[in-house]
Structure 1
Amino acid sequence: MENEPPYRIASVDHALHLATLLQQEGPLRVSDAAERLGVSPSTAHRLLAMLVYRGFAEQRPDRLYEAGDVLRPATVSRAPVALLRQVALPRLHELVDRVGESVNLVVVAGTEARFVATAESPQILRVGSRAGRTLPAHLTSGGRAVLAALPSDQVTALYNGSEDVDLTRLHRDLALVRKRGFAINDQRTEAGLTALGIVVRDPEEAPVAAVAIAMPTVRFDRDRVPAWVGALTATVSEIEQELHSLT
C-alpha cells in the first residue's frame, strides 16, 4: 500500500474513497456514505452529487446510489484521444466564438459516446461542460454521427440483441444522418437540450470522433441549421487537416 501523501486533500480523498465503496461494495444510502466516511450527511450528499455529475455514480429510483458508467468495465476507445484533444480544443473555442454555443468533442467506444473535451458558451443560459461524461451513442448527436459513418454490419453487431435499441429504426435513423451529413439530438438525452454533430475522420477516412454544438432547446432554430452545420463542417475540416499532418 502507498504511504499517505503529506498534504492530503480531504475532499478528494473522500470522493475517491466513496467511489471505491460504490464499486466494491454496491449501492449506498446518503446516511451509509456519511457513516463510512465520517462526515455529515450534507457533505456526503454533495460528494455523491459530484460523483453523479462526473459519471462515477448514479441515483436509483429508490434513492440509493450505485456505481456509474465510469466505474464499470468499459470498452476501450480506439480513437487517439490525447491527440484529438490537443488538435481539437483550440478549434472548439474558435467555434464557440463563431456560434455562441457550447461545443463538445466526442469519441465512441462500443455503444458509448464519451465526451472528451468541451468549450463552453459564454452565455448565461448555456449547456455546461460534458467533459468526462458517458452517454448512449445512439442517442447523442456526436455518437450518431460516428455510428452513421460505420459499416452497417458493424452497427448491427454492436446492437444485435439489445433490448433498449430498435435496430431497424436505428439503421433508418443513421441512413438519414448519412443523407444529411449531420446528426441531431433533439432532447433525446436531456430535456431542454438540442445538439448537432458531424463526424471527424482519420487519414484513412475511418470515423474517430465527432464535434457537436449543444444549445438550450429554446434557442434552437431550424432556419439556422445550415449556418451551424457550415460552421461545424469548417471546424471538422481544420481538425482533420491537422490530424492528417501529424499522422
Structure 2
Amino acid sequence: MKKSAPAASFGTAAPPPQYPIESVDNALRILLLLGERSELRLTDVAEFLGVASSTAHRLLAMLQYRGFIRQEGRSKAYRPGTALTGVAFSILQRFDVRETVRPFLERLRAELEETVHLGILDGTTVRFIDAIESPKAVRVGSRLGQSMPANCTSTGKAMLSLLSLDDVRRMYPDEELEGLTSNSIRSRTELELELEAIRRRGYATSSEESEESVASVAVAFPPGTSPVSLALNVSVPVIRMTRTDVRRIGELLRRTVDEAALLVH
C-alpha cells in the first residue's frame, strides 16, 4: 500500500532522529490526525499511515488501552480519550489565558448583563474554559467545562472561520456533520457558506443551534494571538435577542477582542 504524505501542519523544525522507531512515530501521527478530525476509523488510519489494517488495529488498541482514544457508537469510530484530553488540559492550565482575559469578560457582562464565555477550539470541538453568568432571572446558564461540536456554536464557527477552506475540509472529511438541535448546521457545504458569511461580517451568530431558546454572538481572536484558538461569546435567551442586538453585540465583541488580543501572548 502506498504511504500517504503527512498533512502540512504535521511538520516540525527538528531534524529526524538518528534511530527512528516507526511504531512510535505511527502512534504519534494517529494522535496528530485526530487533532484534525472529529473521529477516526480503522480504514482512515490504515490508509493515512500506509499500513495493513491489522497493524493499524494494533496501534489503535494500544492507544485505547492507555486512554488516549476511545470508541463510540455502532460505527466503532475512535475519538479523543480521557488521557489525551487530560494532557491537553494540563498544558492549557500552564498557559492560562483566563487570568488575562477575565477582566474583559467582566466588562462585557457588566455592560450587557448577559452571560459571557471564553472558548477554545480543540479539533472540531469547542471547550468553554471560562464564563460569567448574567445577573438576570431569565438567563443562559454557564457552559464552563462543557464541550460541544464547533459547527453547532457561534464560538466554534468564529474560530473555524479563521481557517482556510483546505483546513476546514481536512477537519471535516465527510459531508454529514454532527448536530445538537434541529437548527444545527449538519452539512459541510452549509458550514462553508456560513464561515464565508462570518468572514465578511466579522462575527459569528447562533440561534438555537446548540441549545433550544439560546442565541449567541462570538468573535475569535486573530491568528497567532496565542498557542490556542480563542473566542469570546455572549449568550442571550432567544426571546430577547433582536437583529439590532446581534449587530450591537457583534461590534462590541470585535472591539473587545482587538483590545484583549494586545495583552494575550
TM over 0.5: yes
- Alignment counterpart, residue 143 of structure 1, candidates 156, 162, 185: 156
Partner of 1:239: 260
Q: Is the 8 A contact 1:145 1:210 kept in 2?
A: yes
Q: Percent identity?
A: 28
> For the structure 1 residues 222 and 94, does the alpha-carbon distance in structure 2 shift closer, same or farther, using more than 3 Å as the test?
same
Cα RMSD between the aligned structures?
2.7
TM-score calculated relative to the size of structure 1: 0.65
Alpha carbons of 1:173 and 1:202: their partners in 2 closer, same or farther (altered >3 Å)? closer
Of the three residues 119, 124, 144, the one matched with 1:111 is: 124
Partner of 2:180: none
Q: Contact (CA 8 Å) 1:200, 1:207: kept in 2 or not?
A: no
Aligned amino acid, residue 240 of structure 2: R
Which residue in 2 is equivalent to 1:221? 242
Equivalent position of 2:109 in the other structure: 96
| Cα distance in structure 2, aligned partners of 1:174 and 1:161 | 17
Matches of 2:229 and 2:176, distance apart in 1: 26
1:208 maps onto 2:229 in alignment: yes
Distance in structure 1 (CA, Å) of the matches to 2:223 and 2:161: 15
Secondary structure of 1:195's match? Answer: strand
Q: Secondary structure at the match of 1:129?
A: coil
Match among 171, 185, 195 for residue 206 of structure 2? 185
Supply the AA of the counterpart residue of 2:221: V
Q: Deviations over 1:32-88 (max 9, x none)?
A: xxxxxxxxxxxxxxxxxxxxxxxxxxxx9xxxxxxxx884854948x9564321111
Relative distance call for 1:207 and 1:73 in structure 2 (3 A) is closer
Task: Please give the alpha-carbon distance, in whole angstroms, between the structure 2 residues aligned to 1:176 and 1:229.
Answer: 13
**Alignment gaps of 5+ in structure 1:** 1-59, 61-68
Q: TM-score when scaled to structure 2? A: 0.61
Cα separation, 1, equivalents of 2:129 and 2:225: 22
* Structure 1 residue 225 displacement after superposition: 2.2
2:83 and 2:209 map into 1 onto residues whose CA distance is 23
User: In structure 2, do the counterparts of structure 1 residues 72 and 205 end up closer, same or farther at CA, with 3 Å as the change threshold?
Assistant: closer
SS in 1 for 2:130: strand
The residue type equivalent to 1:174 in the other structure is L
Look up the match of 2:65: none
Cα contact 1:200–1:209 (8 A) shared by 2: yes
Offset from partner CA, 1:215-239 (integer Å, 9 cap, x none): 1101101122222112211221221
> Does the 8 A contact of 1:100 with 1:122 survive in 2?
yes
CA change 1:160–1:72 in 2 (3 A) is farther
Distance 1:205 1:106, change over 3 A: closer
Change (3 A) 1:185 1:218: same
Give the AA of the match of 1:226: R
In structure 2, do the counterparts of structure 1 residues 156 and 189 end up closer, same or farther at CA, with 3 Å as the change threshold?
A: same
